[in-house]
Amino acid sequence: MFVIVLLFIAMLFSLRYGAVTSKWSDVTQALLQFDPSNQGEQLVRYLRVPRMFSAVLVGAGFAISGALMQGITSNPIADSGLLGINSGAGLGLALVFALNGNPSPTAGIIGSLLGALVAILLIYLVSTRVSFGLSPVRIVLLGAALSAFFASISQSISLIFNLNQNITFWFIGGTGNVSMEQLQTVFPLILVGILGACLISPQVTLLSLGDETAIALGKKPNRIRQWSMLFVLLLAGTSVALVGTIGFVGLIVPHVVRFFVGHDYRYVIPASGLFGALFFSVADIASRLIAPPLETPAGVIITIIGVPFLLLQIRKGSL
């Protein structure tokens, strides 16, 4: 309940604060009795409302996808960004921009999902070929190699097709360019991913205890992984299409959540959604306030927090 209250406060602050601080009256009027002739209300309605909702959605999406990946791989540092899924989605976006300089939100999402699907299939095939008991560090190294490979291809496409201005935003990450049309396209997909993750969470808990435990209780580990990967695809792929290739949210948030709710994924997954939404919303607000009127990309802020967190996890010797 406390996290929900904090999230609600963060959402209100997201509507008011930025390079220009809006009045509370403008925020209220923009939500309840919008006056198109009022510039203050236009700022809130057309720029900050989409930013606020996108931060909540992708924060929850990245965090839940990270929790799922950690559960099905028994890898404490699994994250859609570290495993190359976000970079794969970014490559899909780059290809869409190369084919159409100004793609529709639907085309961008399809490209992002296809790119993320390629990354997920590569990780799944390699890890199952060797066994899912593959060392967490080796899986992360595989993800790092895939990330570098996809990022280099994306940059090459950007240079060849002169897409620097169009796609740089997605490489850095942030909510500044999100529109209501994009939100309406992405929302159903992220919602399906969140609901699916919550429904499969009891089986992920069994899988996190080991394949033998899951099989002894009549479950099929590979089937659980396949469904989980589908939900990771929906959550991470659509989130990248909306705000860019932001990593570390799915690494940081589940670890924080487990400190409060334990290791049962029936609680870890929904709690990760709430904490992830709060974390990303706060990072988005901070991105506007650190050096106004310039905006520091939210992806940079999260990376500054995420890299030391990753090093801390490695230093703890849990790998």
Q: Is the pTM of this model over 0.85?
A: yes
In CATH, what number is assigned to the domain containing residue 82?
1.10.3470.10
Number of domains in the chain: 1
State the first-to-last Cα distance of the chain, in angstroms, to the nearest integer.
Answer: 33
With tokens 């699994």, the residue in question is 78
- Radius of gyration in angstroms for the set of CA atoms belonging to the chain, rounded to a whole number: 19
Give the pLDDT of the chain (319 residues) as one tens digit per residue: 789 999 999 999 999 988 888 888 888 888 888 888 888 888 888 889 999 999 999 999 999 999 998 888 877 888 888 788 888 988 898 898 888 877 788 888 899 999 999 988 888 777 666 554 456 667 777 888 888 899 889 888 888 888 766 666 666 667 878 888 889 889 999 999 999 999 999 999 988 777 787 788 788 888 888 899 899 999 998 998 888 888 889 999 999 999 999 999 999 999 999 999 999 999 999 998 988 777 888 888 998 998 888 878 777 754 4
Residue the block writes with tokens 């792929």: 237
Provide the domain limits for residue 159: 1-316
Asked if 274 and 4 touch (Cβ cutoff 8 Å), the reply is yes
Q: How far apart are CA 74 and CA 303, in angstroms?
A: 23
DSSP string, 202-248: HHHHHHHT-HHHHHHTT--HHHHHHHHHHHHHHHHHHHHHHH-S--S
**CA distance linking residue 65 with residue 89, whole number of Å:** 14
